[in-house]
Amino acid sequence: MRPQDELNMLKGFIELSPEDATKRDNLESFLSERSKVLIIDADSMLYNVVYAHNDKVFNIDQQLTDYLKQSQNVVDMAESEGFTVTNVEHHFTTCTNNFRKEIYPAYKGKRTYNEMAKLVSMLKTFVIQSFKRDGVTVVHSDTLEADDSIAIRSKELGDSCIIVAIDKDLRQLKGCHFNYQRVNVKDESGAVIQEYVKHDIYGKAIFRPKKEYKGWSFTTVQEGYELLLCQLLIGDTADNIIGAKGVGEKGAPKLLKGKNNFGMLRAVYQKYKDGERLRLNIKLMKL
């Protein structure tokens, strides 16, 4: 197939983002709807909880409590912004073989089932069982990962939802995102600010880095489209998806800068030099 024919095929294969409303218009539309459903990427929140306790004895009841505290904290922060949280949905990945494995058997092929992954799997089973028993909204599928069910649900709800996640892949999705991950607070010189606090476990007061949440952001359709193209260029080592040769996180945005949507797609295609592999990666990475 001629390169131009392959490129024309891609135009229909990956929807060229239509002209989107301005960021301000998007935000005004979102803010006009005050009732919100929180869509939580439960997989990453579970990892966050287990990782925070990696130097302590694993206690499944305590970690369930910590997960509940983390999710309730997000509810509190949404309500402090003036929103009314009508429901909280916890989206889990429970499938071992989804559609990506069928089209690309090497998908996530380099991941190792280490001790932390075992603990997360154990905690996930316990949390799902507890939530179902208590009537908490749990979403999981035999064929879809949490990212996919979140994408479907967020498109259904539109301005009526907030996506709660730390996974950059979900930033493809239009809408409001809340990143609950905490980062060190630094002063003007760049030094990490220390605070004197009571230790969670031992009770005594200690100095430790002051942290703040990464917080709220809003993604437009256009921004989501550009992020997907950057991801296609970079690839995803965690999922064993190989991107374009010689393009990293800094180089990808530069390659797209100043181009219209079709020009950006053409630049990605030219870096790949293989339309079939690019179409496969779009299937694997597009939500």
Q: For 133-169, what is each residue's pLDDT tens digit?
A: 999 999 999 989 999 999 999 999 999 999 999 998 9
Q: Is the full-model pTM beyond 0.75?
A: yes
Residue 93 has pLDDT above 90, yes or no: yes
**122 in the same domain as 12:** no
105/236 same-domain check: no
Of the candidates 219, 252, 274, which is a domain's last residue? 219
Asked if 248 and 185 sit in the same domain, the reply is no
Give the model's pLDDT for residue 115. Answer: 83
Tally of domains in the chain: 2
In this structure, what CATH number is given to the domain that contains residue 190? 3.40.50.1010
Given a cut of 80, is residue 232 above it in pLDDT? Answer: yes
Q: Please indicate, yes or no, whether residues 188 and 286 belong to a single structural domain of this protein.
A: no
Last residue of a domain, one of 169, 195, 219: 219
Asked if 92 contacts 139 with a C-beta cutoff of 8 angstroms, the reply is yes
Q: Give the separation between CA 73 and CA 188, rounded to whole angstroms.
A: 29
Q: Which long-range contacts (CB under 8 A, 24 or more apart) does 48-56 make?
A: 48/166, 48/180, 48/181, 49/123, 50/116, 50/119, 50/120, 50/123, 51/116, 54/116, 56/201
Which of 280, 279, 276, 269 lies closest to 244, judged by CA?
269
Q: Is the domain of 5 the same as that of 45?
A: no
Q: What is the 3-state secondary structure (H, E, C) of the chain?
A: CCHHHHHHHHHHHCCCCCCCCCHHHHHHHHHHCCEEEEEEEHHHHHHHHHHHCCCCCCCHHHHHHHHHHHHHHHHHHHHHCCCEEEEEEEECCCCCCCHHHHHCCCCCCCCCCCHHHHHHHHHHHHHHHHHHHHCCEEECCCCCCHHHHHHHHHHHHHHHEEEECCCHHHHHCCEEEEEEEEEECECCCCCECEEEEECCCCCCEEEEECEEEEEEEEECHHHHHHHHHHHHHHEECCCCEECCCCCCCCHHHHHHCCCCHHHHHHHHHHHHCCHHHHHHHHHHHCC
Specify the pLDDT at position 211: 74
Residues 195 and 238 in one domain: no
pLDDT tens track for 242-285: 999 989 889 999 999 999 888 898 999 999 988 889 999 999 99
Rounded to an integer, what distance in angstroms lies between the CA atom of residue 222 and that of residue 20?
Answer: 6
Question: Where is mean pLDDT largest: 8-12, 41-45, 236-240, 260-264?
Answer: 41-45
**Amino acid making up residue 203:** G
Query: 9 and 71, same structural domain?
Result: no
Same domain, 100 and 241: no
pLDDT band at 42; cut points 50, 70, 90: very high
Same-domain check for residues 125 and 256: no
Task: Give yes or no: residues 249 and 280 share one domain.
Answer: yes
Range of the domain at 96: 21-219
pLDDT classification of 3: cutoffs 50, 70, 90: low
Summary mean pLDDT of the chain: 88
Q: Single out the residue in 219, 236, 265 at which a domain terminates.
A: 219
Q: Give residue 44's pLDDT.
A: 93
pLDDT of 20 reads 65
Question: Do residue 159 and residue 45 come from a single domain?
Answer: yes
State the pLDDT at residue 121. 92
Residue 126 shares a structural domain with residue 77? yes
